[in-house]
Amino acid sequence: MSDQNNPVLPLVLRDVTYEAGKRDLVKSLNIQFEPGKRSIIIGPNGAGKSLLLRLCHGLIAPTSGTVEWQNDARHAQAMVFQRPVMLRRSVAANVDYGLALRGIAKGERRELIDEALERTGLRRRADVPARSLSVGEQQRLAVARAWSMRPQVLFLDEPTASMDPAATHDFETVLDAIHHAGTKIIMTTHDLSQARRLADEILFLFRGRLLEHAPAVEFFAEPRNDLAQAFLRGELLWWRHGDGPKGPVSTGPKPD
C-alpha cells in the first residue's frame, strides 16, 4: 500500500534518453509531472509514448539521464497496460492476489476488494472467472487491481484502444472517480476526443522528442508546434528511415 504521508510527486525526468539497436527511441526528455493534473500523452505511432510510461514506471532504465521521484515510489504507483493479463481465477481473486503479495491482512483485503469492485462496477461479477469478462470489463478489473493498492500515481497505456463507445464511457467514468479520489493519472491515448475530455495537460511526442507540454485548453485551442498543429488536423506525420522529419502530408491510412 502507498504511504500517503510520503508523497512521491513531482516525478522529474532529466535528459532521459533510451537507446535500442543503436537508435535513440526517446531523446533528451525533460519533464516534470506534478500532482493533481491529469497528464495525457499523445502523438503518432512510434512517438515513444509507451516507452515514456515504461521509463517512468521503472520497467526499463534509461540509457542516460535520470528518472527521479520525491520519495520511494515502488509501492506508490501502478500501471494498466493496453492488454492486461488476467489470472486464471475469479474477478475478486485477481484483486486479492496483489494485495496478498503486499502482506495485507485478509480482513483488510476483503474491504479493499469490495470497494475496488464497487468503484469499477464489477461487484456483481466478483465470482465470475476473470478471463470470461468482456474487453472493457477486463480493463476495469485491471484498474480495480491497481486502485486497490491506493497508488499515488496510475499509469495507463492506451487502456480503451479495443473498447466500443459505451465501454469507453464507463471506463472514463472510473478514471474520473480515481482522479477525484486523489490519484495522479498519466495516460497515453490515440483518441483526440478522449484527450479533450480527460486532459488537464497535454504532452505531445514525435520521434521520441517532447515537442509540446501545455495546458489542455491552450494546446487544443492553438498548439505552438507546427507538427502538433498538423497532428490535430488529422494529417499523417511521416519520414523516411534515417532522414529527419518530413513535413506533414495528407494521405491514406498508415500501413500496420
Q: Provide φ and ψ at 18, rounded to 5°.
A: -125, 125
Q: Please check the confidence at residue 240 and state whether its pLDDT lies above 90.
A: no
Whether pLDDT at 122 is above 60: yes
Q: Domain range holding 21?
A: 11-84+152-232
Grid cell in block for residue 175: 478514471
Residues 8-13 have a mean pLDDT of 98
pLDDT in tens, 202-225: 999 999 999 999 999 999 999 999
Cα distance from N-terminal residue to C-terminal residue, the chain? 40
Question: Is 105 inside a domain boundary?
Answer: no
Average pLDDT over residues 73-79: 94
Asked if residue 109 belongs to a domain, the reply is: no
Examine residue 74 and state whether it is found in any structural domain, yes or no: yes
Structural domain contains residue 178: yes
The tens digit of pLDDT for each residue in 166-197 reads 989 999 999 999 999 999 999 999 999 999 99
Q: d(Cα 106, Cα 243) in Å, to the nearest integer?
A: 57
Amino acid 247: pLDDT: 45
Instruction: Give yes or no for a contact between 188 and 158, defined as CB atoms under 8 angstroms apart.
Output: yes
How many structural domains are present in the chain? Answer: 1
Q: Which residues contact 6 (CB under 8 A, 6 or more apart)?
A: 71, 72, 76
In a domain, 135, yes or no: no
Look-up of cell digits 497528464: 39
> Which residues make Cβ contacts (< 8 Å) with residue 218, sequence separation at least 6?
none
Tell me, what CATH number does 69's domain have?
3.40.50.300
C-beta neighbour count of 116 within 10 angstroms: 24
Sheet holding 11-20, edge to edge: 23-33, 11-20, 64-68
Is 2's pLDDT higher than 60?
no
Residue at grid coordinates 469478462: 133
Residue 31 CA: distances (Å) to CA of 189, 197, 214: 18, 22, 11
Could you tell me if residue 121 is inside a domain? Answer: no
